[in-house]
Amino acid sequence: MKWIKKHLITLLLILIGLIGVGMLIYPSFSNWWNTMNQSRVVATYAEAVGNLDREEFDRIIKEASEYNSRLSESGMLYRMNEEQQQEYDSLLNIDGNGVMGYIDIPKIHITLPIYHGTADTVLQVAIGHLTGTSLPVGGEGTHCVVSGHRGLPSARLFTDLDKMVEGDTWTINVLDRTLTYEVDQIRVVEPSNLADLQIEPGKDYCTLVTCTPYGINTHRLLVRGHRIANAQGDANVVADALQIETTYVAVFVAVPILILLFIAAMIMTGRHSSRKRAARSKGNEN
């Protein structure tokens, strides 16, 4: 107890410093942690795909393509009844966890799993496929729409989507297929404006959606791409989604601060001890 009283100021200084460092490195650490989890999800999906045989591939793709054909005739399903929702949830859901594939965007250095639907539990950690739009298996008369958050302190997700420009590309990996899309249109619209998400006859589109402006989120940023030939063929390669640079950020920020706090604590302890020695010496002289 005496030791705590003696070093109370130093302990408080260290505590405040650690809290400050924790707040500083939380976004980097949290993003790193989420990226690790997303990498595991992608790897698990790839493993499940590897366990399928050709007959299962063909059946799953056929069911998804038939679903898209019906959508092409009827248009987007803004609202689904229970039967339609159950059918949607079952399509491309090979592992039963809601993952239908993953997206890789080289320009902004992300690889993220794509889940069925855009529930908040999904968008906090990954990318969601907009219910009622085409499933991501490609083909004429399809328009797949996927959505992701920006600016979350715990994950990057679509934070850097505004850096995309016309001509940039991304890939969507579903089963043994790699679909490549090239940006051909970027627009900012009201949240209720769905005109640019409609299916167009003969077109194979995919649109990435996020909120904008950053931190205000009153509008939606739509980055649309049209399908192009995949230079790598049909090979489905699991990209390494581990963004280790976030760890470096945490280390290079936190370590120097902790060192400075330690030095400051030692200085304060030294000054405190010097004052006590001086006081004792003065007392002895008297």
> Bridge-partner residues for 177, per DSSP?
174
Tokens 């059918």 found at: 87
Look at the chain and report how many structural domains it folds into. Answer: 1
Residue 9: inside a domain, yes or no?
no
Residue 20: inside a domain, yes or no?
no
Nearest to 247 by CA among 19, 1, 30: 30
Q: In the chain, at which residue ranges do the beta strands (DSSP E only) sit?
A: 99-105, 110-116, 127-129, 142-147, 169-174, 177-189, 204-212, 219-228
Residue 126: inside a domain, yes or no?
yes
Give the structural domain span for 72: 56-245
Residue 73: inside a domain, yes or no?
yes
Residue 267: inside a domain, yes or no?
no
> Bridge-partner residues for 179, per DSSP?
172
Residue 51: inside a domain, yes or no?
no
Residue 265: inside a domain, yes or no?
no
Encode the chain (286 residues) as per-residue pLDDT tens digits.
666 666 666 666 666 766 665 555 555 555 665 677 788 899 999 999 999 999 999 999 999 999 999 999 988 887 899 999 999 999 999 989 999 999 999 999 999 999 999 999 999 989 999 999 999 999 999 999 999 999 777 688 999 999 999 999 999 999 989 999 999 999 999 999 999 999 999 999 999 999 999 888 999 999 999 999 875 544 444 444 333 344 444 444 555 555 665 566 566 556 555 666 665 665 555 5
Looking at residue 113, its pLDDT comes to 96
Residue 203: inside a domain, yes or no?
yes
Tokens 């950690």 found at: 125
Q: Report the CATH number at residue 84.
A: 2.40.260.10
